Amino acid sequence: MYHIYLLFHLIGYGLLISVFVATPVLEYYLRRAESYHEAFKLANIVSRIGLLSPVAAFILLISGILMMQLWGYELFSHGWLTGKLLIFLVMVVTGAYSSMTIGRERRKIYQELIDGKDNPKLPGEILRIHNRQSQYTRIQSLFILMILIFTIYKF
């Protein structure tokens, strides 16, 4: 049974890493899009790839808890396990909130630019949203790094 849980855990981790790799690459092309139509399409793709994140989180959480039980650990019996779970939950909640708000704002602004609204603040708003997305990606990467540190060193 352990091997099946481990396989699912690795699949979830692979999905999560895929999101963390694909998002910055697509962000790079999004920032260099030649037209607002192209940028709008890329923004939709980034949002759809972001939908993999909750799936990955669910797979990781369930398979991780099942593996903990196979090893004989209680849910909050060890500090490093509790730390991993708390960091993971913070990562999932902040990730869901940030990706929904950033994606919604970005698509709205690009749609306004496509519709031809002559608001001089819109390009500045796009830059602000791109910077927020970059900051969010760095923070999420730190969360992943902290989870790996707890896994390796088992404080």
85-142 pLDDT, tens digit each: 888 888 888 888 888 888 889 889 888 888 888 788 888 888 899 888 888 888 888 9
pLDDT of residue 61: 86
Percentage of the residues of the chain whose pLDDT score is greater than 90: 14
CB 130 within 8 A of CB 85: no
Length of the chain in terms of residues written: 155
Q: Is the pLDDT of residue 155 over 70?
A: no
Helices marked H in the chain: 2-31, 36-50, 52-71, 79-115, 122-153
Q: Which residues span the domain enclosing 83?
A: 2-153
pLDDT at 46 (0 to 100): 87
Q: 120 Cβ partners below 8 Å, 6+ apart?
A: none
Is it the case that residue 75 has pLDDT exceeding 80?
A: no
Cβ-based neighbours of 142, under 8 Å, separated by 6 or more: none
Q: How many domains does the chain have?
A: 1
pLDDT for residue 14: 92
Q: Across all residues in the chain, what is the average pLDDT? A: 86
Q: How confident is the model at residue 81 (pLDDT cuts 50, 70, 90)?
A: confident
- CA proximity to 35, closest of 146, 86, 103, 110: 110
Spatial CB neighbours of 92, under 8 Å, sequence gap ≥ 6: 53, 54, 57
Per-residue tokens: 24: 């910055």
